[in-house]
Structure 1
């Protein structure tokens, strides 16, 4: 049996510990972020019009607020998260949606099972050298032509840098470096967006929209 990497155990335990506070913090957060809503709407439209179905997984779904938003945009969305407490909260808040405990690097999904993946700040705690296999796994479970929307903290042109995220250590990335990793995994870029930090945000925010070849 493969041993779980220590950074995954640390991340799961850290989010378990703050799950209730985190769920309260993100409640209604999209109401204050029109650019993020626009990117999510574009992603949903591409999924709805680009393939045979609308099955989308939010990987690292937390308390389920983004999964619900995807459902409201017309997608057949479900959520997966490392944190059992987060999944418990998501199921309680959204009993009509499907949520499962799992890791993004070893998804219990068949090859090509999904039409879309949302990874919204869910990979920020992965050490840089460990990230490429995650994109390979995203590629495996996406159907040809399926879309990936990846949200992250951008480094402002600096190399990858660790920072003191309030939950556990996280990383900021140059957007071009992340785009190159996704290309190496078999994705082509559809678009990208950078937005400046809003009140109570410390860093520039990045979004990459990719399509599986």
Structure 2
């Protein structure tokens, strides 16, 4: 059997990625209003997440290297919470409907349409990146490139707080997400991918699912080391 030419393989992969982005965008557009209603006040019942966000905000403020981008911000409820803690924070989301709702709900904050696979941001322009369960829909092969993109836009000494669905298997496994196909990741494997992208780990947290949740929630707090 002859192997596929590299250019043909790259074209097929690019088409596959474009369909993935299109499908994920359409899925979240279709549930945007319901999603915003369900999650508007969710942080009120998540004390551990509030504590993590407060610690993240403190680290970002102490370094003072630039604003925070909430990548995959949805309707903007976490963006607004983090902004209220002190760091200048803006949101980016793939879904136009989500961005429209975020702008309507939080007219004093900035929200942009965009994809984490190719951020329309200058290199080293951010002091922090918040990615709360926004990378879970990416096929595992795509995460290294996205983490490299995070590293590109983050200033040296900047911080990343990543939320993900946690699994026990040694490799990522597909999860039955209610909106779009998602993946559960073993924390060690995800942390290793971030280290390969140039990040250093500060800490991590695993939380058991609440009554209305199906999967454990994991969080990795990372930073981009200062250039020597």
TM-score by length of 2: 0.90
Root mean square deviation of aligned Cα? 1.3
Match of 2:69 among 57, 61, 80: 57
SS of the residue corresponding to residue 190 of structure 1 reads strand
Q: Distance in 2 between matches of 1:176 and 1:29?
A: 27
State how 1:76-155 maps to structure 2 within 5 Å: 76-155=88-167
> Which of these two proteins has the greater Rg computed from alpha carbons?
2
Question: 2:49 matched to 1:39?
Answer: no
Secondary structure of 1:131's aligned partner: helix
Deviation at 1:14, TM superposition (A): 0.1
Give 1:159 shift.
2.3
The total of aligned residue pairs comes to 212
Tell me the residue number matched to 1:10: 23
Matched, 1:176 2:188: yes
Instruction: Give the whole-Å Cα distance in 1 for the aligned partners of 2:149 and 2:166.
Output: 23
**Per-residue deviation, 1:51:** 3.4
Please list, as runs of the form range in 1=range in 2, the aligned pairs for 1:23-38 lying within 5 A after superposition. 23-38=36-51
What is the rounded CA distance, in whole Å, between the counterparts of 1:70 and 1:207 in structure 2?
16
Kindly indicate whether the alpha-carbon contact (under 8 Å) linking 1:63 and 1:90 is maintained by their aligned counterparts in 2.
yes
Q: TM-score by structure 1 length?
A: 0.96
Q: Distance in 2 between matches of 1:23 and 1:88?
A: 11
Give the 3-state SS of the residue equivalent to 1:48 in structure 2. Answer: helix
Specify whether residues 134 and 28 from structure 1 end up closer, same or farther in structure 2 by C-alpha distance, changes over 3 A only. same
- Counterparts of 1:109 and 1:159, CA distance in 2: 31
Q: Give SS of 2:130's match.
A: strand
| Residue deviations 1:96-143 (CA, integer Å, cap 9, x gap) | 000000001111111100000000000000000111100000000000
Q: Distance in 2 between the 1:63 and 1:52 partners?
A: 26
Distance between the aligned counterparts of 1:9 and 1:52, measured in 2? Answer: 33
**Contact residue 105 and residue 137 of structure 1 kept, 8 A:** yes
Q: What does residue 48 of structure 1 align with?
A: 61
Secondary structure (helix, strand or coil) at the match of 2:122 reads coil
Unaligned runs of 5+ in 2: 1-13
Alpha-carbon distance in structure 2 between the residues aligned to 1:182 and 1:51: 22
| Aligned equivalents of 1:183, 1:146: Cα separation in 2 | 14
